[in-house]
Amino acid sequence: MGNPKVDKDIVIDKLMEVFRSVGYDGASLADLAAATGLKKASLYHRFPEGKEAMAHAVLDHVADWNEKEVVAILMSSKPAEKRLNTVLDSINDLYNGGRLACILRALSHGTAADLFRNEIAAIFQNWVVAFAHLAADFGHEPEMAKRLAESTLIRIQGSLILAQTLQQPNLFKNALNDIKSDFLKPSGNK
């Protein structure tokens, strides 16, 4: 296939940056071209289906990251507490300590909502399954483990919104700590 991956990952990374900061509808082809350093026509050469395909490529990349950095770790055989800490650290890095928006949320609105809902839902569901698995290893009952996993995603998404709107990144850090203590707690409440 010639030399197909020269800087493909960099391009996807730059596309992601734009989508995540201004959303799908807010991202113009001119923005995307400027961010990648490519001209519009070159972007269309790589993504013949246009902007929609660019967002799909970004989501595929996110799904891969998710499998490697979250699901695989949470499902591994290391000690439960170590798994939790490793993943929460990754998540903290991913969002730069609460300063960066979530790409999944950015692609959940406006025109994008209908286009990408299924892909995004699949990623969320993988997180829930993986975190529920971890919660079970911490000794939580199945039903409670699932609630705890859902609550984890809820806290991450909600705290990112507040952290960015109020420009208080600590709200995100606090949420990560709350998540940790929820998992460590003996069970019986959420």
Partner DNA sequence: GTCTATAGCTAGATAGAC
Partner DNA sequence: GTCTATCTAGCTATAGAC
**Main-chain phi, psi angles of 48, to 5 degrees:** -60, -25
What value, to the nearest 5°, has the Cα angle with vertex 31 and ends 66 and 39? 100
Binning the chain into helix, strand and coil, the percentages to the nearest 5 are 75, 0, 25
Residues touching DNA: how many (CB under 7 A)? 22
Distance CA 162, CA 154 (A): 12
Burial class (CB in 10 A: 0-12, 13-18, 19+), 19: buried
Q: Which stretch binds DNA (CB under 7 A): 24-32, 97-105, 149-157, 181-189?
A: 24-32
What residue ranges bind a second copy (CB under 8 A)? 22-23, 25-26, 101, 104-106, 108-111, 113, 117, 120-121, 124-125, 147, 150-151, 153-159, 161-162, 164-167, 171, 174-175, 178, 181, 185, 189-190
Determine which residue in the list 15, 18, 35, 51 makes contact with DNA, applying CB under 7 A. 51
Q: Is 29 in the site for DNA (CB under 7 A)?
A: yes
Q: Which is nearer to a second copy, 8 or 117 (CB)?
A: 117
How many other CB atoms are there within 10 angstroms of residue 83's CB atom? 21
Least Cβ distance, residue 32 to DNA (angstroms): 7
Interface residue list for DNA (CB under 7 A):
2-4, 6, 27-31, 37-42, 44-46, 48, 50-52
